[in-house]
Structure 1
Amino acid sequence: MATASATPTPATPTSASAAPGEGAVRLGAGGAGLGVPAIVLMIIAASAPLTVVAGGVTTNYAVSGLTGVPLGMLLLAGGLLVYAVGYVAMSRHIRNAGAFYAYIARGLGPEAGVAGAWTALVAYNAMQIGIYGMLGFTASSFVTAKTGAEIPWWAFVLVTIALIAVLGVNRVDVSVKVVGVLVALEFVAVLVYDVVSLAVAPEGVSAAGFAPGDLLAPGIGVVLVMGIAAFMGFESGAIYTEEARDPVRTVPRATFTAVIVIGAFYAFSAWAMLIGSGPSATVGAAQENGPDLLFVQLGERVGPIVADLAQVLFISSLLAALISFHHAVARYAFALGREHMLLPSFGRVNGRGAPALGSLAQTALAAVVVIAFAIAGAGSELGPLYPVLTLFTWLTNLGALGLIVLMAVVSVAVIGFFARDRRGVGAWTRLVAPAIAAAFFATVTVLTLANWNLLLGEAETGFLTFALPGLLVVAAVVGLAIAVQAKHRRPHAFESIGTGAVPVARADAAR
C-alpha cells in the first residue's frame, strides 16, 4: 500500500506527486512573512479573551458553583503546554496549511488524515458560524438599549459576514493588522476590569480560587469542560506554517507563547473577578447577572461610559475570533483541494496568495446557516435570546467537541510519526508528552459528552444530544470514504495525502 512518506518525492515526469516548494501551490504568494507576534495575535484572537472573561468565566462560576475556576484555567493551560510539546515538534518537520490533516495523515495513515481533515472542516465551521449568534444578539441588544432602534440580530451578522468576506480573499497579513488592534483593545478592557476588581475586593485580596479544595469537588468536570472551550483556537498556529517567515522557529514559539499568555491571563482575570465580587458572593452574582456581570460591575465602579466601551469591545472581540476561524476554515479547504481530497479548485490561490475559493465557500455557508436560523427563529418563544441559545450554543459546543477529539487523535499521531523516525527527538517529546496529552484530551472528551445536555441547555436527552456529535461522525466517514476511493481509483492523489504536494498522475495510471 502506498502511503505518504516523511519526505515528499520531488516532481518528475513519472512521480506521483510534486513536492512542496517544487511546483506545489503554496499560500502567501510573494510571502506573507508572518512572524511570532502576528501568529500569536491570530491565535489569541480565536480564543477571544474579552469574550472568554465576560462570558465563559462568568458562566463557569454560575454553572459549576465552584470558586476554583482560576486553578482550573492553570491546569488546562498546563495540559495544553504538554500537548504542544509533540504538536510543535511535528510542525518543525511538516509545513502544511491543513495542520491536523497533515499531522494525522503522516502519523496514522492517509485515510485517518482525510477523515480528520473533514472533521476539522465541520468543527472550525461550527465554531465560526456559531459565534455569529452571539455577535448578532450582542450588537442588536446594545443598539436597542442606546438608541431605541430595534434592528434584528441577523442584520448585524450579514454585514459582518460581508466584511469578513473581503478580508478572507486578501493576504492574511491584512487581517493580522485588523486583529492586532482588536486584540490589544480587548486586553486593555479586561485589565481595567481586573485592576478595578482587585482595588474593590469586598472580602480582601487572598489566594481564593487557587486552593485545591476550591476545585476538587462535584462540578470539577464542568469547570474543565467549559474552561477548555476558552482555549479553542490555540492550535491554529500550525495552520500558518506556509505563510510564516521561519516556520521551524516561528510556529513553535508562537504556540507556546500564546498558551502561556492566554492561560495566565484567564487565570488572573478569573481570580480578579472572584476577588472583586467576593469569594462568598461570586457564584451568586454570576448566576444573577450572567455574562453581564463584568459590564454591570464596570458601570457601578468606573462609570457607564467605560461599561459601554467594554460592550463595544466585546463585540469587536467576537469579530476578531470570527476572522481567525474564517482563515482556519479556508486553509483546511485549501489543503484538501490541493491534494484533490476536495474539489481541486479549492487548492488554488488568487493573485494575493489567499485561498479565495475556500474563503468564499465559508462565507456562503455562513450566510445560508444564519439566514436559516433567522427564519426558524422568527416569532420564537425564546425571544431576543434565540440566536444565543440555539446558533451560538449548539454550534460552538459542537466545534469545541470536534477540536478536542482531534487533539486527542493528533497526540497519538505524534507518537506514530516519530516511531518511524525519531529524527533526534527525545523520549519526552516523541512519546511521554504526547501520551499524557492523548489521555488528557480523551478524558476531557468523556467529560464533555457526560455534560453534553448541560452544555446545550437541554433538560433531557433528545434529538440534539445525538444529532450534533453525529455531524462529526458523518464528516469523518465522508473523509474516510474519499480517501479509500482515492486509494483504489486515484493512487496518485492518495500518495499525496498529507504531503502538501499537488497530485500528478503517472503515465500508466489509467492502465
Structure 2
Amino acid sequence: MTLTPSADRAAAPAEPPGPSAASGPSAASDPSAASDPSTASPDRLAKGLIGTTDLVFFVVAAAAPLTVLAGIAPFAIGVGGASAPAAYLISGALLVLFAAGFTAMSRYVRNAGAFYAYVARGLGRTLGVVTAYVAVVSYNLITPGVAAAFGYFAAGHIEQRTGAHVPWWLLSGGCVAVVGVLGWLKVTLSAKVLGVALVLEVLSLLLMEGGVLADRGTAALDPVSFDPSLLTQAGVAGMFVLVIGAFTGFEATAIYAEEARDPARTVPRATFIAIGFLAVFYALGTWIVMGAYGTDDAVAQARADGGPDLTFRAAERFVGLWLSDTMHVLIIVSAFASALAFHNAAARYLYALGREGLLPRGLGRVSPRTGSPGRAVLVQSGFNALVIGLGAVLAVDPYLVVLLWSNSVGVLGIMVMQALAAVAVFAFFRTDRRGMSAFRVVWAPLLAAAGLAVLAVLALFNFDLLTGRTGLVNWLLLVPVPVVAAAGWLVARRIRRTDPERFARLTEVDVERD
C-alpha cells in the first residue's frame, strides 16, 4: 500500500539446483511439522501452515484495496485523467508477466529472503546481498508508515464522533503492539485476521459499485477510459507511478514459501490470483467511481479540493450516508491489515538475513511454540515503535511525514528489486529452461524487467507525487537506498574475501532441503 498527499484529509554465481530440487520432499509430506511447530528446528520456520487462501489474504490485505480506491484512485484520476482504469489493467498485465517467471523460479528457490535469494541465484551472491539490504530497509520502512496512517485515521474518526482528542501516536503505538503480538503467534492467525478485514473492505466497495450501477446502469461504464490515445496525454507517466504502487506487496507470496503447504503449487496459484484480483478490482472500481459522476466531471472533481472524497461521496449519494460512514471506519481496518501484512513480510526478511549471518544471527531464530520468527518480530516491532516515537517527539504530521516519507522510499526500493528479480529469472533459466516455455522464463521476464525499470525511473523523476515534497527533502529521502546498497556490496565482498565457503552457502537454505 502507498498513499498520496491528496488522500490525506479524508560474485561467484550461485549454482542453480537441478530439476530434481523441485521434486524433493515438501512440508506437506510431514503432517507433524505442520501441526506442531514446536518440533521444528530453532532456526527453521514452521512448515505447511499456509495455504493458497492464506497467501492471497496476506498479499491483497497488504495492498489495502479500500485505501487504494478511496485514497489513491481519485488522485490517479486527477493526475492522469480518464485513462486511470486502463492503467490499473496495464500495470496488472505487466505484473502477470513478472509473475510468470517469478513463480517458475519459485519451484527451485524457496527462501524467506525472496528477492534476495532470487537475485543471488540468478545474478550472483554479491548482488543478492545488495538486494537483501535494500529489501530490509524497504519493508521495514513501510510498516511503521502504515501504522502511522492507522493512528491518523483512527484519531480523526474518534474526534469526529466523540469530540475527544486522542493523540495519533498513542493509537499507532497500540497498532504496533497488536501487530507485533499477531506476528509472534502462529502465522495462520494473522491470515484469519487479514481475511476478515479484507472481506469487509471488499464488501463495502462492492456495495458502492452496486449502488452506482443500479442507479446509472451502463451509463456508468464509459468506454472512453480504455481509449489507447488517452495514454499519450500529459500526466500519464505520473499516474502510472501511483497505480503500480497500489500493487506493492504481491511478491510476498514467495516470502512465505518456507511455511506454505505444497509451495510448488501454492505460491504460483496465490500470486496469479492476487495480481488478477487486484488488477480487475482496481480497474472496475475506479471505472465505476468515475461513472458515478460522468467521466469529465469525475476528472474535474478529482483535480479540485474535494478530490480525495470522490469515492466516499459516491457511496453516500448512491447507497447512503451509512455506507460512507462505514467505509471511513473500514479504512482504519484497512490500514491495520496492511501494517500486519507488511510487518510479517519485514520480519521474515530480518529472519532470513539473520539465518544467513548477514544480520545478527539471533534474528534467525524462531519461536519454539509458534514456529514464527520471534526475535525478528521483536526487532521489527521495536523499529516500528521507534519511528512512531520519533514522529511524536518531533510533532510531525503522521500522514504527510511519517507515512508518505517512509512509504515513498519503501515503494521505490521494492520497484527496483522487482526489476532486478525479473532479470535474475531470465539469467537463472538462460542456459537451461528446465522444460518450461521460452515465453515464461525468457520473454516474460525480459518484458517485465523492461517495464518495471521504466516505472522505477518514472517513480524517481516523479518522486514528489509520492512524498508531497520537492527539492532537498526528496534528495535526503532517497539517500538510504544507495547507502544500504553500498553497505550490502561491501559486506558481500568482505565475506567472499575472508570466508569463501560461507559465501558459497548463501541462499542455499531452501524449504525442500530442510
TM-score, normalised by the number of residues in structure 1: 0.90
Matches within 5 A, 1:146-157: 146-157=161-172
**Hey, which of these two has a bigger chunk of helix by percent?**
2
Q: 2:477 matched to 1:468? A: yes
Match of 1:15 in 2: none
Q: Using the TM superposition, give the Cα deviation of residue 45 of structure 1 relative to its aligned residue in structure 2, in angstroms.
A: 0.7
Superposition deviation, residue 32 in structure 1: 4.2
Q: Deviations over 1:305-332 (max 9, x none)?
A: 2222111111111111111100111111
In structure 1, what residue type is equivalent to 2:421?
V
Moved over 4 A (4+): 23-27
Aligned residue in 2 for 1:319: 336
Q: Distance in 2 between matches of 1:173 and 1:293?
A: 36
Match of 2:30 in 1: none
Unaligned segments of structure 1, at least 5 residues:
9-20, 379-385, 503-511
Return the letter of the residue paired with 2:482: V
Q: Shift of the alpha carbon at 1:117?
A: 0.8
Name the CA distance, whole Å, in 1 between partners of 2:499 and 2:51: 38
Checking the alignment, whether the CA contact within 8 Å between 1:73 and 1:227 is kept in structure 2 is: yes
Match of residue 180 from structure 1:
195
- 1:17 corresponds to: none
1:416 aligns with 2:434: no
Deviation of the 1:202 alpha carbon: 9.7
3-state DSSP of counterpart to 1:204: helix
1:109-124 equivalent positions in 2, closer than 5 A: 109-124=124-139
Given candidates 384, 393, 398, the residue that maps to 1:387 is 398
Q: Tell me what 1:74 maps to.
A: 89
Distance 1:250 1:26, change over 3 A: farther
Deviation at 1:426, TM superposition (A): 2.4
Q: Which residue does the alignment assign to 1:477? A: 486
- The answer as to whether partners of 2:49 and 2:187 remain within 8 angstroms in 1 is no
User: C-alpha distance in 1, partners of 2:225/2:89?
Assistant: 11
Contact 1:97 1:332 in 2 (8 A): yes
| Cα deviation, residue 490, structure 1 | 2.7
Work out which of the residue numbers 268, 279, 282 in structure 1 matches 2:298.
Answer: 282
Cα distance in 2 for residues equivalent to 1:483 and 1:201: 60
- State the 1:301 CA deviation: 3.3
Number of the residue aligned with 1:346: 363
Provide the TM-score with structure 2 as the length reference: 0.89
* Counterpart in the other structure of 2:409: 398
Q: Tell me if the contact between 1:95 and 1:241 (Cα under 8 Å) persists in the aligned partners.
A: yes
Is the Cα–Cα contact under 8 Å of residues 211 and 318 in structure 2 kept in the other structure? yes
| Structure 1 residue 291, shift from structure 2 partner | 2.8
- Offset at residue 292 of structure 1 (A): 2.5
**Is the contact made by 1:335 and 1:500 (CA closer than 8 Å) also made in structure 2?**
no
Which residue identity does 2:204 align to in structure 1? A
- 2:441 matches 1:430: yes
| Match of residue 442 from structure 1 | 453
Matched position secondary structure for 1:253: helix
The root-mean-square deviation of aligned C-alpha atoms, in Å, is 2.0
Contact persistence 2:17–2:108 (CA under 8 A): no
Residue of structure 2 in register with 1:509 after alignment: none
Could you tell me which residue of structure 2 aligns to residue 46 of structure 1?
62
The aligned runs of 1:171-250 (5 Å cut-off) are: 171-201=186-216, 204-205=219-220, 206-250=222-266
1:132 matched to 2:147? The reply is yes
2:501 to 458, 467, 492: 492
Q: Gaps spanning 5+ residues in structure 2: where? A: 1-10, 19-32, 34-39
Contact 1:197 1:277 in 2 (8 A): no
Q: Which residue of 1 aligns with 2:173?
A: 158
d(CA) in 1 for partners of 2:348, 2:431: 28
Residue-by-residue CA offset, 1:435-479 (whole Å, 9 max, x unaligned): 111100110011111111233222x422x2222222111111111
Identity across the alignment (%): 37
Following TM superposition, by how much is the alpha carbon of 1:27 offset from its aligned partner in structure 2, in angstroms? 4.3
1:267 pairs with one of 283, 295, 298? 283
Contact (CA 8 Å) 1:208, 1:271: kept in 2 or not? Answer: no
Q: Could you list the per-position Cα deviations for residues 69-102 of structure 1 after superposition, in whole angstroms to 9, with x for gaps in the alignment? A: 0000010000000111111111011110110010
Relative distance call for 1:413 and 1:343 in structure 2 (3 A) is: same
Kept after mapping to 2: 8 A contact 1:41/1:183: yes
**Residue 284 (structure 1) shift:** 2.5
SS of residue in 1 equivalent to 2:226:
coil
Using the TM superposition, give the Cα deviation of residue 358 of structure 1 relative to its aligned residue in structure 2, in angstroms. 1.0
Deviation, structure 1 residue 25: 5.8
SS of residue in 2 equivalent to 1:421: coil
Of 14, 17, 23, 1:7 maps to: 17
Partner residue of 1:359?
377
1:28 and 1:191 map into 2 onto residues whose CA distance is 37
User: Residue 374 of structure 1 aligns with which residue?
Assistant: 392
Measured against aligned partners, the alpha-carbon deviations of 1:38-79 in whole angstroms (never above 9, x if no partner) come to 111111011111011001101111233x11100000100000
1:288 is paired with a residue whose SS is coil
Q: Which amino acid aligns with 2:490?
A: A
> How far, CA to CA, are the matches of 2:494 and 2:264 in structure 1?
34
Q: Which moved more, 1:54-63 or 1:489-498?
A: 489-498
**Take 1:495 and 1:253, find their aligned partners in 2: how far apart are those partners?**
31
**In 1, distance between residues paired with 2:386 and 2:101?**
38
Look up the SS of the partner of 2:82 in the other structure: coil
The code of the aligned residue for 1:36 comes to: T
